[in-house]
Chain A
Amino acid sequence: MKELVIISGKGGTGKTSLIAAFSSLAEDKVLCDADVDAADLHLIMNPTTKERHDFQSGHEAIINADKCTQCGVCRDLCRWNAVREDFTIDSLDCEGCGVCVYFCPEKAIDFPIKTCGEWYISETRFGPMVHARLGIAEENSGKLVSQVRQEAKKLAEAKGIELILTDGPPGVGCPVIASLGGANAALIVTEPTVSGRHDMERAAQLADFFRVPVMVCVNKADINPEAASDIRRFSEEKSYAFLGTIPFDPVFTKAMVAAQTVFEYDQRSEAAGAISKIWNALKAKMES
């Protein structure tokens, strides 16, 4: 079984639209949305949820006002200034480290487990999908990403499916790290802009760091053909497989509005043709 993760560094380069397009082309696969912070794949996949699970992770300190003598030990120890003047705790600032809980001389601080989101196993017109929703302003997104990927793997094993297509988050921080570890390949979809280029280099460095083979494609390539060629040259120098380019095509937005993949919306569009070629190159790479 193999897992392809799509990342980008910069947001908005077309990760989710591309994963959706691939799901029109790949025969047997499990879809996995690892962008748990701002998950969007379900907006195209219209999944029917089969299983729903709470995601519990970390703890939260809560001061019991009846027992608290306002001695201030917690406030002195807290490195996040999460203890307010009135000896209540700002849950957004609480890191869940439990130091206040441990040292409170009155044992006045509770430390319940937090429910930070939900994850789902669903059925879609393209096959099974594992996805999640992190609660707004919650922490531990990396752990939820790991959970979603693990569940996708279990599901693929149980169903004898050989491919997992994972939609990754933007950036290079905690959730991206969690979406790369142990993946068979990372496809970086970038755009030919100063920021697209800058961010893809950092995303590629991160994949190198975790020894995940890097493949590259450029979306909206005709916005700046010269910059697109530079990205190609850069990829070749670094021995990243350069899979091709996709032109700027309003069909991306139109398909999204229609809750369809690019292929469902217009399989004769320029973008669809370019994505087919990229998919064939990618399949050949994944098999070798």
Chain B
Amino acid sequence: MIISIASGKGGTGKTTVATNLAVSLGKGVQLLDCDVEEPNAHLFVNPVFEKTEVFTAAVPEVDEEKCNLCGKCGEICQFKAIVVIGNTVLPFPELCHSCGGCMAVCPEKAIREGERVLGITEAGHSGDLEFVHGRLRVGEAMSPPLIRKVRSFAKPGAITIIDAPPGTSCPVIASIKGADFVLLVTEPTPFGLHDLKLAVGAVRILGIPCGLVINRSDMGDDRVREYAEDEALPILMEIPFDRSIAEAYSRGQMIVDMMPEWREKFLQLYDGMVELVKAANR
């Protein structure tokens, strides 16, 4: 069972929900932090990392001895990542999407696969919880391949909880595609609602069942609830604003550690999602 936790708007509480849910469930659970641009879940679950791997993308390296400057590589490349200028061929590895087109098309077999570092993955444990995240190299633009790499740690049969990045474009799609359920964390404000609608649009394109958590549920207005009702989106949990929760969060503490009674609520949240997945598969 793969549950992706997304939001549209940033700062609504994705990581709070992902970490508290994962820790409440405990054994047999994986938490994969796919917000590789700004991974934060480790700050709350404090995993011991056992394995770090550098993750690279394939980029062209040209053997100038073999290259006859025919220009076919520049012709096939849609990303202007390799061009022939005068009597030299110039690869721009930072623009490369690793499609392999230049290598496939080169009649002289003059292009081999080099590497560009996209970031790292770190894997470890926090108690019974298995934890993996990716860290995009600062200055690197392309996050989806690293997100897919983090997701490759998902084990069949486990409960896998994915903390997704904000937004609705390719990094979010890479984090929710193929999930069994998407839990959307929102806040009852105009920004929260506007971005929630976009996120629901993305989830519906993928045809994945989804439900809502309303964070800081007593601030703002009622329009998120009205929208949820109109769209038949189940509200699975509400977390009222509580200054002591906000202060604890600021220090890296989890709700379920501060207020153990919340553990039960997160377990109920999980049961609610399981029911919805079953209903969708019926």
Contacts and interface: CB of A to CB of B under 8 A. Distances in A.
Interface of A: 9-13, 16, 37-38, 40, 43, 58-59, 77, 79, 92, 95-99, 102-103, 134, 136-139, 141-142, 169-177, 191-196, 198-199, 202, 205-206, 209, 220, 223-224, 227, 248, 250, 253, 256-257, 259
B38 interface: yes
B11 A37 contact: no
Interface string B182-216: 00000001110011001001100110000000000
Contact of A97 (B78, B219, B251): B78
Interface residues of B, number: 59
B250 A227 contact: yes
Interface in B154-206: 165-173, 177, 189-191, 194-195, 198, 201-202, 205-206
A10 B205 CA distance: 26
A199 B40 contact: yes
B76 A193 contact: no
Contacts of B100: 77, 79, 99
Question: Which interface residue of B12, B38, B206, B243 has the most chain A CB atoms within 10 A?
Answer: B38
Interface stretch (B20-28, B122-130, B136-144, B225-233): B136-144
B8 interface: yes
B104 interface: yes
Nearest to B15: A195
Contact of A198 (B40, B169, B177): B40
Contact of A38 (B168, B171, B221, B247): B168
Given A99-B101, A136-B205, 4 more contacts: A37-B167, A99-B104, A173-B141, A253-B219
Nearest to A91: B205
Given A77-B100, A177-B141, A193-B249, A58 B78 contact: yes
A43 B191 contact: yes
Nearest to B176: A137
A209 B191 CA distance: 31
B139 A209 contact: yes
A16 B189 CA distance: 13
Contact of A136 (B78, B140, B202, B220): B202
Contacts of A79: 98-100
Contact of B43 (A12, A58, A99, A194): A194
Interface string B233-253: 000000000010011011110
Contacts of A250: 219
Decide if the interface of chain B is mainly helix, strand, loop or mixed.
loop
Contact of A98 (B76, B139, B190, B251): B76
Nearest to A174: B141
B38 A137 contact: no
A77 B103 CA distance: 11
B274 interface: no
B198 A136 contact: yes
A96 B35 CA distance: 24
Contact of A202 (B43, B78, B138): B138
Nearest to A202: B138
B9 interface: yes
Nearest to A103: B104
Nearest to B223: A257
A188 B195 CA distance: 22
A193 B243 CA distance: 13
A9 B38 contact: yes
